[in-house]
């Protein structure tokens, strides 16, 4: 457990590691590519290293260099594996379950107890429609899952994406390796749309054709290969959010390097929320600065940026008025039930915070100190640490859960103390 001490932030610049979502995608596409790929600034955190370890287990050769990783793409040929362990990395689980469909033989993917409560049946259903036998081994619709892969014909599938966009990202990533191409009709959702755009962007950047009509229909021609090349991962916007929030709640100034307003990471839209709440935002090519000011409540539809809900909720606790966060029922299926966790922990700090069917209602006030439970959820640990910059006696339990996406978080956080 660590105590966070209040701090006036005058003017600080921070560097955050590479994007988790881009790293997962670039690793997978590189592994399936037609030759050696160089990946720079990849995020080396628990989750992304699990994706990398899995690809190696499936037969992909990786060479670690000082400032880059070289992945030798196999052209889509992968070996099946008896047991792949993915802890609580939803992105790894959903994307690699689809990838396992390319490996001749039976692959089993599993994870932590919590991972075994996170749904995946809509993805399995889509694989079944492609004649890939795939099932939840417990029958719960959650991992562990078994996939019997091999040559994929492709065809047409109907996919529900009301719980997670990761199902669609997984299906899209393997689609170029089908014989006849793959048509994906979206029959529910998708939630978290910008992550779908990011998947398509990475696929196109690696030379693959993807046709689409908005978020309803996707078609990926078959017999394509990702093209080997040199890829640099941009800084992680979700992890930058804690530092922008630090400026918001303290009234200070924080600049995060290496992020620009045209980022393909949908969480960049948090900045619009912070502006609406009263912050000033300076968007430059080389970095983005937030300058805090008196905060007021907003109404926010956060369907497209689920990972920013805990961050915004903590900022809302310091804002004048009642903030409503809408359309994020999918937060119940994350590392923990994030709606319940955020409401519980804010309530411990004396803030009126409650869950609705699909969101949160938070009335800003004068939060006080509390021991914060983190539910083995990196984002809960990081967002509540921000509250501790303004309020005394905030203690974060099990603070090392940040290793999931940001292993050196506490070191970077320390730099806010000047
Ligand atoms: O595809 C991705 O990289 C992600 C998609 C989102 O999940 P959902 O689509 O399940 O909301 C997000 O919450 C997660 O952190 C990363
Ligand atoms: C939900 C998250 O990740 P994942 O779904 O990959 O576990 C996250 O990082 O907030």
At residue 326, the 3 state secondary structure works out as strand
**Binding site residue list for 3-phosphoshikimate:** 20-21, 25, 164-166, 192, 307, 334
Instruction: Report ipTM for this prediction.
Output: 0.99
Q: How far is the CA of 281 from the centre of ligand 1 (A)?
A: 25
- Residue whose CB lies within 8 A of the most ligand 2 atoms, among 334, 376, 382, for a mutation test: 334
Ligand 1: centre distance to CA 237 (Å): 13
DSSP 186: E
Q: How far apart are CA 77 and CA 93, in angstroms?
A: 19
Average pLDDT over residues 172-182: 98
Q: Are 239 and 379 in contact (CB under 8 A)?
A: no
Residue 392 tokens read as: 């005394």
Q: Residue range 327-350: average pLDDT?
A: 98
The structure tokens 């995060």 sit at 256
**Ligand 2 close to Cβ of residue 121 (< 6 A):** no
Q: What is the pLDDT of residues 28-63, one digit of tens each?
A: 999 999 999 999 999 999 999 999 999 999 999 999
**Annotated binding site for phosphoenolpyruvate, which residues?**
20, 90, 118, 166, 338, 379, 404
φ/ψ region of 146 (left if φ > 0, alpha if ψ in -120 to 50, else beta) reads: beta
334: nearest Cα among 346, 345, 342, 344: 342
Ligand positioned closest to the Cα atom of 193: 1
Handedness of CA 164, 352, 388, 400 (dihedral sign): negative
CA distances for 18 relative to 73, 169, 237, 294, 320, angstroms: 21, 19, 9, 31, 34
Say how far apart CA 28 and CA 268 lie, in whole Å.
24
Confidence of residue 74 (pLDDT cuts 50, 70, 90): very high
* Residue extents of the structural domains in the chain: 2-17+235-417, 20-227
| Residue nearest to ligand 1 atom 10, measured at CA | 164
The position carrying tokens 């749904």 is 119
Beta strand residue intervals within 273-383, DSSP E: 280-284, 287-291, 299-301, 322-326, 352-355, 360-363, 370-372
What pLDDT is attached to residue 151? 85
Has residue 10 got a pLDDT over 90?
no
Contact 110, 143 (CB under 8 A): yes
What pLDDT, on a 0 to 100 scale, did the predictor assign at position 339? 98
Q: Strand, helix or coil at 360?
A: strand
> Could you tell me what percent of the chain has a pLDDT over 70?
100
**CATH 3.65.10.10 for the 2-17+235-417 domain, yes or no:** yes
* Whether residue 22 has its Cβ less than 6 Å from ligand 1: no
Instruction: Name every residue whose Cβ is closer than 8 Å to that of residue 65 and which is 6 or more positions away in sequence.
Output: none
* Model confidence, pTM: 0.98
Beta-carbon contacts of 148 under 8 Å, excluding residues fewer than 6 positions away, are 105, 106, 132, 133, 134
* Residue 379 Cβ < 6 Å to ligand 2: yes
**How close is the Cα of 154 to the center of ligand 1, in Å?**
25
Q: How far is the CA of 266 from the CAs of 19, 185, 195, 291, in angstroms?
A: 12, 23, 7, 21
Q: Is the beta carbon of 405 within 6 A of some atom in ligand 2?
A: yes
| Domain topology for 20-227 | UDP-n-acetylglucosamine1-carboxyvinyl-transferase; Chain (3.65.10)
Asked whether the beta carbons of 59 and 80 are under 8 A apart, the reply is no
Q: Whose CA is nearest to atom 3 of ligand 2?
A: 90
User: Ligand 2: does its nearest atom lie under 6 Å from the Cβ of 334?
Assistant: yes
Residues 269-314: tens digit of each pLDDT: 999 999 999 999 999 999 999 999 999 999 999 999 999 999 999 9
The answer to whether residues 163 and 119 touch, using CB atoms and an 8 Å cutoff, is yes
In sequence order, the 6+-apart residues with CB closer than 8 A to the CB of 228 are 30, 33, 34, 35, 36, 37, 73
Tell me if 127 sits within 8 A of 174, measured CB to CB: no
Task: Judge whether 304 and 333 are in contact, CB under 8 Å.
Answer: no
> Given a cut of 90, is residue 106 above it in pLDDT?
yes
Measure 310 CA to ligand 1 centroid, in angstroms: 14
Tokens 């696929």, residue located: 203
pLDDT of amino acid 192:
98
The pLDDT value given to residue 111 = 98
- Model pLDDT, residue 374: 98
Fold match, 2-17+235-417 / 20-227: yes
Pick the atom of ligand 1 nearest to 164's CA.
10
- Give nearest CA residue, ligand 1 atom 6: 192
Count CB neighbours of 179 within 10 A. 12
Q: What is the pLDDT of residue 348?
A: 98
304 is catalytic: no
Give the residue whose CA is nearest to atom 1 of ligand 2.
334
Between 90-100 and 166-174, two packed helices, what is the crossing angle to 10 degrees? 30
Count other C-beta atoms under 10 Å from residue 299's C-beta: 10
Residue 418 has pLDDT above 90, yes or no: no
| Mean pLDDT over the full length of the chain | 98
Q: How far apart are CA 71 and CA 36, in angstroms?
A: 6
Does ligand 2 come within 6 angstroms of the Cβ of 311?
A: no
| DSSP H/E element including 149 | strand 145-149
Q: Where are the alpha helices (DSSP H) in 209-283?
A: 237-250, 270-277
The strand ranges marked E within 197-321 are 211-213, 217-220, 230-232, 253-257, 280-284, 287-291, 299-301
Centre of ligand 2 to C-alpha 57, Å, is 22
Q: Which residue of the set 122, 236, 267, 307 is catalytic?
A: 307
Asked if 44 contacts 67 with a C-beta cutoff of 8 angstroms, the reply is no
Atom of ligand 2 nearest to the CA of 92: 6
State in Å: Cα 89 to ligand 2 middle. 6
């Amino acid at each position: 457990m660590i105590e966070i001490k209040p701090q006036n932030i005058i003017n600080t610049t921070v560097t955050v590691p590479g994007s988790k979502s881009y790293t997962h995608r670039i690793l997978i596409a590189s592994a399936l590519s037609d030759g050696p790929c160089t990946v720079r600034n990849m995020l080396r955190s628990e989750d992304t290293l699990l994706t990398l370890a899995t690809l190696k287990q499936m037969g992909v050769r990786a060479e670690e260099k000082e400032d880059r990783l070289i992945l030798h793409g196999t052209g889509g040929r992968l070996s099946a594996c008896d047991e792949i362990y993915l802890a609580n990395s939803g992105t790894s689980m959903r994307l690699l379950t689809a990838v396992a469909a390319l490996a001749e033989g039976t692959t089993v993917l599993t994870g932590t107890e919590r991972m075994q409560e996170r749904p995946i049946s809509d993805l399995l259903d889509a694989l079944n429609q492609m004649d890939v036998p795939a099932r939840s081994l417990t029958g719960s619709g959650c991992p562990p899952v078994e996939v019997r892969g091999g040559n994929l014909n492709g065809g047409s599938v109907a996919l529900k994406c009301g719980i997670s966009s990761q199902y669609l990202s997984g299906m899209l990533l393997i689609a170029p390796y089908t014989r006849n191409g793959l048509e994906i009709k979206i029959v529910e959702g998708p939630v978290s749309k910008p992550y779908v755009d990011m998947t398509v962007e990475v696929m196109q950047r690696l030379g693959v054709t993807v046709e689409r009509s908005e978020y309803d229909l996707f078609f990926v021609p078959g017999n394509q290969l990702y093209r080997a090349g040199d890829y640099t991962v941009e800084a992680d916007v979700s992890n930058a959010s804690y530092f922008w929030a630090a400026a918001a709640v303290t009234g200070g100034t924080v600049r995060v390097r290496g992020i620009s307003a045209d980022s393909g990471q949908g969480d960049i839209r948090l900045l619009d929320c912070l502006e609406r709440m009263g912050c000033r935002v300076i968007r430059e090519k080389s970095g983005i600065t937030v300058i805090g000011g008196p905060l007021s409540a907003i109404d926010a539809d956060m369907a497209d940026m689920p990972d920013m809900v805990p961050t915004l909720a903590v900022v809302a606790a310091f804002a004048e008025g009642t903030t409503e966060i809408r359309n994020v029922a999918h937060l119940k299926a994350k590392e923990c039930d994030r709606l319940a966790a955020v409401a519980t922990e804010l309530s411990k700090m004396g803030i009126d915070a409650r869950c609705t069917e699909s969101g949160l209602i938070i009335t800003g006030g004068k939060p006080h100190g509390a021991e914060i439970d983190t539910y083995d959820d990196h984002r809960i640990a990081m967002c509540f640490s921000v509250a501790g910059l303004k309020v005394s006696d905030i203690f974060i339990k099990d603070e090392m859960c940040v290793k999931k996406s940001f292993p050196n978080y506490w070191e970077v956080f320390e730099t806010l103390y000047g």
